[in-house]
Every structure is written in C-alpha cells, then in structure tokens.
Amino acid sequence: MISTILSAFTVPEIRKKIGFTALMLGLYRFGAHLTAPGVSASAAKQLSNSVAGSSGVLGFLNLFSGGALSQVAVFALGIMPYVTASIILQILTVVVPSLERLQKEGEVGQQRITQYTRYLTVGLAFGQSIGYVFLFHSLGSANNPIIPEFDLQHIFLIVMSLTAGTVLVMWMGELITQRGIGNGISLMIFASIVSRLPSAAQTWYTSTNQVFKVVLPFLVLAVVAGVVFVQEGQRRIPVQYAKRVIGRRMLSGTQSYLPLRVNMAGVIPVIFAASLMAFPPTVGQLIHTHWSQSLANFFSPSGWHYILGEALLIIVFTYFYTAVTFNPVDQAENLKKYGGFIPGVRPGRPTAEFLDRVLARLTFPGAIYLAFIAILPAIVYARSGVTFNFGGTSIIIVIGVALDTMKQLEAQLMMRNYEGFLKT
C-alpha cells in the first residue's frame, strides 16, 4: 500500500488529482468549524463540549458530520442528506416504472436520476435544517442561548445557511469524483469520521478503566481484520460461455465467474437502522411530554432495547437492500442473452432460482456480521461504562472507503504502465 501511494506521487497527473482531492477535503473541514450566521459562537462551543463523546442520538449524528453538527456550523448537515436522497432514489427505481426505465437508458437516464437526487437533497436538507434549528433552540440555556434572537428572520437565515452548506458539500463531492481520486461523497464521510479519531484516542488514553485501556487496542485490531476479511470475501459462481459465430470467425467458449460479495449491501443497512432507531430519542428531545420521554428512555442508545432493535433492523435491511441492488432474474436473463450459463444449471428460470438461493445463504452471514459490528460499541459501553465514539459502523465505513480508494489508485497507475503488459 505504501509503495502504491509513493508511486502515485511520481505521476504528475495523479499527483494533481491527489492535491485537488486534499484541497476539497480541507475546504470541507474548514466549513465544519465555521459557525452559521445567527448562532452564538460561545453557546455552540458549549454545546460541542457536551455532545462530544456522547452516546446519544446527537453524538451519533455528530460523528457523521465530523463535529460540525455540535458546533452548529455551516456544514452541520454534512453529506448525509445527499446519501439519504441517493438511497431513496435507488429504492424507488424498483418501485416506480418510469425511474426503472430511466435506469436502463444508460448514461442519459443516470444523469436524470442524478438530477432528481440533487433536488431531493435540497428538500431533505431544508426540512432537516428546520428541525435542527428548533432542536438547538431547545438545547440552549436561558443565560447563554444557542440562537439569541429566535424570530422568523433569524430562523430563515440559519435554515438557508445550513441548506446552502449541504448543496455546497454535494457540489464539492461531485467535483472530487470527477477531477480527483475516489468517490467524493464517500471520502467526505471518511474525512468526517477520521477527524473524530484524535478525540476517541484521547477518551481511551484518559480512561480510568484499566481493563478497557488494555483490551480496546486488541479489540479494534480484531474488528479491523474481520471487516477487511468480510469486505473482500466473495463467492465466485463459475460461468461458461458457449461458442459463437461472429461473421466468418468462430469464437471458442470462454470461462468466467460471477462474483457475489458476502457484504453486498455495504454500510447502507447500518445507516438505515441507525436513522430509524434515532427517531424516538429525537422526538423525546423535541417534545417534552411524559410519553415522549418514556419512549426516548426505552430506546436509549445505551439500552438493550436499542441494541436488539438495531440488530434486527440491520438484518432485515441487509436482505431488503441486497434484493434491491441484485436482481437474480435480470442476471439470469443477461447470461442467457450473451450465451452464458452456469455449469450444471439450466439457463433461464433455474439459473435465477440458483442465484437467489446462493444469495440468500450468502447474505445471512453478511447481515450477522454487520449487526455485530454495529452494536459492538454499545456492548462495550454497557460493560465498561466508557463511551468510545469511534465505533464499529465508523470502522466499516473507513475501511471500505480506504479499500475502494486504493483500488482506484492502483487502477490509475496500471493505466499509465500498460506498456509492460504488452511486452513478450
């Protein structure tokens, strides 16, 4: 890995892409510390100190914004509205026939879907901004309010600032994808999570629980090794292509394979489940009634009800999202269309049933793996009483983005050193 990174800096074009990516990520982190207009900087700093390291819903949401949410910064919403909009559009392509037709139209249809995703991102950011403004107002104290002048004019100013910040982050992420290295949206989430690593390390170092201090490094190494092992794990289904006649030439049959990943859904089920489980505590913080407080306490992030509920939702969403992203019927039709077949399985419907059966068996360990990694921080907190805000979900995202970025970097290097493959 180190040799790949050093080799990348020797190529001027790749070096420029890496520099552009670093510049965009630096601007993104700068906006995460720039307090939104109409917000008291001292009160925002006090809120940031109270939320930092919290195991509540704000602590979870603050992790994905890189600390910008607790500081009520311009980029407080981060890139999560765009991620949510992308997930919603991806699911709707299965339900809405017009979107499904657009998806099959190639690049033109994908551009239309991307445009719809941008519009939905603006709407989600606007709605979330309104909710956060009232949430921040309720969290402020009477002596030092977060929003000193809570009137319609200042509410509109803060909402528009947060919405514009999300649009700017979305544009920067797309620029990184086009002109930089890796997926821009994923890299921004990566930068937000990694920025919290120093505070997490400080929490571990200053902990008075000696067992926690000794066991945690080995636990983190075991989790990292397990995540890499499962992320790269796949079941290769052999595919045989029959002989074909093209013009006057007879092309012999070729052998290939269809890779089915163990964790085909990625980290999306974890984000889905965490978003749903975070809803009751959020309602409890916004609505100060007996029933809402009881609901929030029942689904407290440190309670067993929250842990079991999140684990079950992750398993359900893993199966659901895998079924959405991988259609065995379409795969079987594509194999039949290009003259491919799985040895020992008849083309058409039997192939689709075979792929569906293999995928169901393969998804189960992937779902259990995601659920275990996601609830591991809550289990550690319940046993040790120490909050560690760099948990299993963060490790899944960080390792996944790092592996994908390294693969793209290696692909860029391979494209510029192809002469060696042509020598005999």
Residues 158 and 283 grouped into a single domain: no
Quick: pLDDT tens for 55-94. 555 666 676 677 777 778 888 888 888 888 888 888 788 7
> Strand 255-261 vs strand 234-241: parallel, antiparallel, or unpaired?
antiparallel
Q: Which of 145, 177, 197 is the last residue of a domain?
A: 197
Residues 49 and 10 grouped into a single domain: yes
Residues 226 and 335 grouped into a single domain: yes
Residues 183 and 271 grouped into a single domain: no
Residues 153 and 226 grouped into a single domain: no
Question: What is the 8-class DSSP label of residue 262?
Answer: T
Residues 173 and 292 grouped into a single domain: no
Whole-number Å distance between alpha carbons of 239 and 339: 10
Residue 254 CA: distances (Å) to CA of 123, 156, 251, 338: 49, 62, 9, 12
Quick: pLDDT tens for 349-372. 888 899 889 988 888 888 888 888
CB atoms < 10 A from the CB of 194, how many? 17
Residues 122 and 215 grouped into a single domain: no
**Residue 389, pLDDT above cutoff 60:** no
Whole-number Å distance between alpha carbons of 187 and 17: 14
Q: Does residue 354 lie in a domain region?
A: yes
Q: Does residue 7 lie in a domain region?
A: yes
Q: Which residue has the higher pLDDT, 50 or 362?
A: 362
The pLDDT of residue 383:
66
Q: Which residue has the higher pLDDT, 352 or 420?
A: 352
The pLDDT of residue 56:
54
Q: Does residue 398 lie in a domain region?
A: no
**Residue 104, pLDDT above cutoff 70:** yes
Segments forming the whole domain that contains residue 371: 208-385
Decide if 65 contacts 77 (C-beta within 8 A): yes
Residues 236 and 300 grouped into a single domain: yes
How many structural domains comprise the chain? 2
Q: Does residue 369 lie in a domain region?
A: yes
For 255, phi then psi, to 5°, come to -115, 140
Residues 51 and 160 grouped into a single domain: yes
Residues 153 and 252 grouped into a single domain: no
Supply the CATH number for residue 143's domain.
Answer: 1.10.3370.10
Residues 78 and 227 grouped into a single domain: no
Q: Does residue 344 lie in a domain region?
A: yes
Whole-number Å distance between alpha carbons of 151 and 137: 11
Quick: pLDDT tens for 66-77. 777 777 888 888
Nearest to 324 by CA among 100, 24, 61, 60: 100
Residues 171 and 237 grouped into a single domain: no
Report H helices in 107-209: 107-139, 152-179, 184-194, 197-205
Nearest to 264 by CA among 359, 388, 140: 359
